[in-house]
Amino acid sequence: MTYCGRFAPSPTGPLHQGSLVAALASYLDARQHQGRWLLRIEDLDPLRESISARDAILNSLEAHGLHWDGPVHYQSQRHQAYEQLLHQWQQQGRIYPCPCSRKELQAADGYHPRHCRQQPDWQSPAPRALRFALSDTEGQWQDRLLGALSYHLVAEQDDPVLKRKEGYYAYHLGVVCDDIDQGVNQIVRGQDLLESTPIHLALYQALAQPAPGYLHIPLLCNAQGQKLSKQTHAPALDDRQAGNNLWCALRSLHQSPPADLQPAPVTEILAWAQQHWRATALPGPVAAGGSLAVPS
């Protein structure tokens, strides 16, 4: 089967060095496997997103030579598919409406004080989220970097939201629905999403679809040990320094790029990186939950 990977940023801000590391890892892994590499903009929450952030992301990827295959896929154009899937699951009794607040759920240890799951009230006009009814599951999956990982999903307590009270579709729904639709079969992403993987596996199973392969890479952290993100004020990538940014990203990914590639044009660095990419050079199981460093 042809490898098909993707990069799927949310347009809530420009890319920073941490997002470049994630994009580069998935790009190199796909290219080294002669695979396709798709770009999906996860624009599910208009209150947090902007057109300017979206454009900045596309420009940064191009400036760094990370050219994707096919058209850009926008989740904001997929509402009909999400609605169809929710309708199907409603017919099958796999989802239920839930007006509970986070506070109420916490107070009840993750159980629903209104018995939303046992007695779903589809008629109530109150704002409600739609949740997927999980089964109790003890499972295991094989991460390409971290090895065999076990998980335990608890019915009701872990039931994920698929559509939010505000009417927006939730991350778990969009990501699984679209990865299936786009034929994505290898996912390279940050370890901050490790906890989502069991939920995604449950959704694949509910849809009788084969789960993709996973490689969860450590996160790029600043000197204070915080994940680089908008919240920790990670600066936007300077696209004029694309070659240097790529070189530093390779260093962070433990790929040992030769010194004579600094500075070098983007195409030369990527050509070297594609040939020499070794996912196994990343800090492995011993350092699960560890982090990558920004080279000094």
Write out the residues near Zn ion by the rule CB under 5 A: 98, 100, 112, 116
What whole-number distance in Å separates Cα of residue 168 and Cα of residue 162?
9
Query: Measuring CA to CA, how many Å separate 179 from each of 40, 112, 185, 207, 276?
Result: 9, 30, 8, 12, 27
Q: Closest distance between Zn ion and the C-beta of residue 111, in Å?
A: 9
Q: Closest distance between Zn ion and the C-beta of residue 156, in Å?
A: 9
- CB distance 57 to 9 below 8 Å: yes
Closer residue to Zn ion, CB minimum distance, 113 or 265: 113
Q: Closest distance between Zn ion and the C-beta of residue 196, in Å?
A: 20
- CB distance 193 to 15 below 8 Å: no
Q: Closest distance between Zn ion and the C-beta of residue 119, in Å?
A: 11
Structure tokens at 23: 């994009």
How is residue 221 annotated by DSSP? E
Strand partners, 188: 215
How is residue 218 annotated by DSSP? P
- CB distance 257 to 248 below 8 Å: no
Q: Closest distance between Zn ion and the C-beta of residue 162, in Å?
A: 13
Q: Closest distance between Zn ion and the C-beta of residue 95, in Å?
A: 12
Closer residue to Zn ion, CB minimum distance, 86 or 98: 98
The number of C-alpha atoms within 13 Å of 123 and in the hemisphere containing its C-beta is: 1
Helix axes 17-32, 266-276, angle to 10 degrees: 60
